[in-house]
Structure 1
Amino acid sequence: MEQEFRNNDAVLDIMDKPNFLQGLGLSFQHLFTMFGATVLVPIIVGIDPSVALMSSGIGTLVYLFTTGAKIPAYLGSSFAFIPAMKLLMSNPEAGYGAVAQGAFTTGLIYILVSLVIKKIGSDWIGRVLPPIVVGPVVMVIGLGLASNAAQNAMMDNGNYSIKYIAVALLTLVLTIIFNMFLKGFLGLIPILLGIVSGYIISLGFGIVDIQAIEAAQWFSLPDIHIPFLQYRPVFHWNAVLMMAPIAFVTMTEHVGHISVLNKLTKRNFFENPGLDRTLLGDGLAQITAGLVGGPPVTSYGENIGVLAITRIHSVFVLGGAAALAIILSFVGKVSAVILSIPGPVIAGISFILFGVIASSGMKIIIDNKIDFDQKRNLIIASVILVIGIGGLVLKAGTFELEGMALATLFGIILNFVLPQKAASEA
């Protein structure tokens, strides 16, 4: 499949294919980057991390296939569903089956919305999400994750740790050095080198669980749970009612990530392959994750950060990372090694990745020459940033809207209701 346009600012553009060894290193870089967050979700809610690793790989391949391999994105476990999944997994009568059915439902909602968009078009996106809304929302995507990175860098099982801070900062500094001063192939994998270096430093500080690696089997089957196929099928309507509304929350995140990718790759994915196709791919990926018993998946800001830093946008690299995730879900030893990567190492990397995402939002504002002397623009951006980063939550029964999704909603409303000029400016 040929691309009519090539982004010359990219080291490897979307359809550029690296050689095998180069691609292997680049794919591992994406794998390690998403790994911490992807397995953290199942660990929190009580799902087998290997299943989450498998579902993220399969889901990513489904997404790439559905979008015609036009969008370089990696899909991993979604944090938005944690409260609902944790509650379902704590109920002995619900468990895996309920979570899987919930994931299946959210995927169906994505598909239904994609069909509506295919029918009426997506021209409305520019009116609903203009640069004054998208820019601050993208900043919220990065900055909203900043506290997670800081906590991982400081806290060891709830206790402040100077060791953790040292590991996080050393990982950060080394990654910056690798990114700025290395050339050739090594200059393309600063994130991977940073993670490996941080891991070695962590070994020196004694914060890596070696026993878990020694105890792990070389080959182990993920704990797969397929819904609807029990001897006595049970439909968990509570799971459907709890998780279905969250689909609309993650859709706003989906649009935000596509906006960032548009900027990075100098393309308009809302037009080609179209928002209907990207939502369809996301929905099918969520259904696939549910069918193997994994948590719902969504596009990952961390991996978008890797794309921005390395300027390597090849879908072959992302596809390679997905294939590696599936393979490693069956290799107990390797999974144990990756699972043993300490939180402060991921935190040190995240300081850069999350910041790059936030900076991309700032770049959208600058490139579109948004005038902040206009009160309208100042108010919209201010409300989005504070609500999104502050983590304001709106609850109504089992429905919950928080953070970036709520900030996006406020931004859209303000964009429609505020006049172009305030009375004092007229």
Structure 2
Amino acid sequence: MTHRRDVVLDVDERPNTGQWFGLSLQHMFSMFGSTVLVPILVGLNPGIALFSSGVGTLMYLLITRHKIPAYMGSSFSFVVPMMALMKSTGYPGIAQGTIAVGCVYLIVSLIVSQIGSAWIDKVLPPIIVGPIVIVIGLSLASTAAKDATINAATGHYDLRFFAVAMLTMVITIIFNMYCKGFLGLIPILMGIVAGYIVACLFGIVDFTPVMHAHWFSLPHFQVPFVNYHPHLYWGAILSMAPIAFVTMTEHLGHIMVLNELTERDFFKDPGLNRTLAGDGTASIIAGFVGGPPVTSYGENIGVLAITKVHSVYVVGGAAIFAVFFSFVGKLSALIETIPSPVIGGISFLLFGVIASSGLRVLIEHKIDFNVKRNLMISSVILVIGIGNAYLQLGKYQFSGLAVAAILGVILNLILPEKARSEEH
């Protein structure tokens, strides 16, 4: 394919060694903040998240025949059920849910290869996807507020924590709004770094774990039958698996944007079935090593757009660096010492952005809430999801988010286009 003049490196172009090193490192750091924030919120090891992110990306590139410059990072869509599972089953339940998510992707990939993808839009129209994404963001609001105000050591409100959270949030907004180029693409990472410095000034950072950590150490892998003996957790599987359909729609959106950005048609070559299979395989790998579910990252698209570097070799390089840094023990220890008010300050923005993305889906598709059908579907999803009206059947528990998603799909399939009162 002819190299486009406005692109520094096209999809299949190989950079020289110096370019590869610098551009790959830059690309990895653009994904770093979001990738490590998920395990911090859930209580997983950040090193494992980096490892599974890097290995998952390399596997994705392999399955898609090195044709799509997409990076796999920790998914925020599963934070709510993962936090609940961490309290009940521990990581083994999260692992089974994560593997189940990957299996859903593989099953859909197989179906797409046989009958196409038009059915996905019918099962998951914007009236379902938008409210579910809003739920994902807003259901985490109380967690962000608690991190920003409550000192875990005392169990009481701490004004220092609130001040650090607010300063972290403001600094992140400044990076987001006033920085250009690469710095404008990594506001989360820069916000975490700045918030960490502020927290140090307030005297709420404990460096002891960093001092005791080794420079080189294995990530805290959680491998079934090696680190733990797994039991079947149907509740975990059924809480996380339905959300895969939501992240799947995000995946489709990312591929569409990449098509426009690179002037290629990845739905045809290598094919949507391969992109879904790559994404699903990455999550399955994460579940077998101790990481959270992974999915394609919007930050990745932003980096490609601003740097004009679309090379899959650079994305692969970023993945290799992520794996390398996962073995730096002091880095993992440093990440784990980030105090909760810094996470809370970042979360105020991040969870709000997720919720706002759901609103954007509804606005872009011009969903009319004067139509009773739309009002009924969205109302059920929002209240059940945000309120976490979970379903308990014996020892199996379905998260409110999963219940909301399933009910939304059912209502969309059975409700008429118009209510009786709307018929003329």
- Measured against the shorter chain, the TM-score band is 0.7 to 0.9
Contact residue 153 and residue 344 of structure 1 kept, 8 A: yes
Structure 2 residue matching 1:400: 3-state secondary structure? strand
Distance change in 2, residues 1:307/1:112 (3 Å)? closer
- Kept in 1, the 8 Å contact 2:239–2:399? The answer is no
Distance 2:63 2:89 in 1: 30
CA contact (8 A) 2:35 2:50 kept: no
Q: Give yes or no for contact 2:23–2:314 (8 Å, CA) kept in 1.
A: no
Identify the residue that residue 115 of structure 1 maps to in structure 2: 110
Distance in 1 of aligned mates of 2:408 and 2:170: 36
The 2-side partners of 1:202 and 1:11 are apart by 39
- Asked if 1:76 is matched to 2:74, the reply is yes
Displacement, 1:170? 0.8
State how far apart, in whole Å, the 2-side matches of 1:364 and 1:164 are.
34
Q: In structure 2, what is the Cα distance between the partners aligned to 1:11 and 1:146?
A: 40
Deviation of 1:317 after TM superposition, in Å, equals 7.0
- Does the aligned pair in 2 maintain the 1:11–1:311 contact within 8 Å? no
Matching of residues 374-385 of structure 1 within 5 Å: 374-385=371-382
Aligned to 2:412: 415
Per the alignment, residue 369 of structure 2 pairs with: 372
2:117 match: secondary structure: coil
Displacement of 1:288 in angstroms is: 2.0
Distance 2:39 2:132 in 1: 23
1:343 aligns with 2:335: no
Taking a change above 3 Å as real, the CA distance of residues 288 and 206 of structure 1, as seen in their structure-2 partners, is: same
Return the offset for 1:212.
Answer: 1.3
What SS does the aligned partner of 1:220 have?
A: coil
**What aligned pairs does 1:26-425 form with structure 2 within 5 A after superposition?**
26-43=27-44, 49-67=46-64, 70=68, 72-76=70-74, 79=79, 80-81=81-82, 84=85, 107-108=102-103, 110-157=105-152, 158-224=155-221, 226-227=223-224, 236=230, 238-239=231-232, 241=234, 243-246=236-239, 248-258=241-251, 261=254, 276-291=273-288, 293-299=289-295, 304=298, 319=316, 321-425=318-422
Amino acid in the other structure paired with 1:248? A
Task: Specify every segment of 5 or more residues in structure 1 that has no aligned partner in the other structure, as ranges.
Answer: 90-94
Structure 1 stretch 204-213 or stretch 56-65: which is displaced more?
56-65
- Aligned to 1:419, the other structure's residue is in SS state coil
Task: Decide whether the 8 Å contact of 1:393 with 1:403 is kept in 2.
Answer: yes
Q: Structure 1 residues 35 and 99, CA, compared in 2 at 3 Å: closer, same or farther?
A: closer
> 1:69, CA displacement in angstroms?
5.3
Answer yes or no: is the 8 Å Cα contact 1:109–1:244 preserved in 2. Answer: no
Mean Cα deviation higher: 194-203 or 262-271:
262-271
Residue 202 of structure 1: how far off its partner (Å): 0.8
The Cα RMSD (Å) is: 4.0
**Whole-angstrom CA distance in 2 between matches of 1:425 and 1:168:** 48
Contact 2:381 2:408 in 1 (8 A): yes
1:124 Cα offset (Å): 0.8
Distance 1:73 1:423, change over 3 A: farther
TM-superposition CA deviations, 1:17-38 (whole Å, max 9, x none)? 9875465345223212221322
Q: Could you give the per-residue CA deviations for residues 33-73 of structure 1, whole angstroms, max 9, x where no partner exists?
A: 22132244354xxxx55334422332233234434553745
Q: Is the 8 A contact 1:88 1:239 kept in 2?
A: no
- The number of equivalent residue pairs is 406
Residues 229 and 306 of structure 1: CA distance in aligned 2, closer, same or farther (over 3 Å): closer
What amino acid is the match of 2:138? L
How far residue 409 of structure 1 moved from its aligned partner, in angstroms, is: 1.8
Distance 2:359 2:257 in 1: 13
Q: Deviations over 1:379-405 (max 9, x none)?
A: 222222222222221222344332333
Distance 1:276 1:327, change over 3 A: same
Residues 111 and 181 from structure 1, CA distance in 2 versus in 1: closer, same or farther, beyond 3 angstroms? Answer: closer
Deviation at 1:345, TM superposition (A): 1.8
Change (3 A) 1:119 1:288: same
The 3-state SS of whatever aligns with 1:206 is: coil
Is the 8 Å Cα contact of residues 26 and 189 (structure 1) preserved in structure 2?
Answer: no
Q: Distance in 1 between matches of 2:404 and 2:268?
A: 25
**Following TM superposition, by how much is the alpha carbon of 1:363 offset from its aligned partner in structure 2, in angstroms?**
2.0
- Alpha-carbon separation, structure 2, partners of 1:290 and 1:400: 20
Q: What do residues 196-231 of structure 1 show as CA deviations (whole Å, max 9, x unaligned)? A: 21111011011111111111111112344554579x
Given that 2:59 and 2:278 are in contact with CA atoms closer than 8 Å, whether structure 1 keeps it comes out as: yes
SS for the counterpart of 2:286 is helix
1:92 alignment counterpart:
none
- Local SS of the residue matching 2:217: coil
Q: Name the amino acid aligned to 1:29.
A: S
Tell me the percent identity: 46
Q: TM-score, normalised by structure 2?
A: 0.79
User: For residues 337 and 312 of structure 1, do their structure 2 counterparts lie closer, same or farther at Cα, with a shift above 3 Å needed?
Assistant: farther
Distance 1:362 1:250 in 2: 18
Label 1:192 to 1:69 Cα distance change in 2 as closer, same or farther (>3 A). farther
Change (3 A) 1:229 1:153: closer
Q: Aligned in 2, Cα 1:129/1:119: closer, same or farther, shift over 3 Å?
A: same
Q: Which whole-Å CA distance do the structure 1 matches of 2:354 and 2:139 have between them?
A: 10
Cα distance change, pair 186–103 in 1 and its aligned pair in 2 (3 A): closer
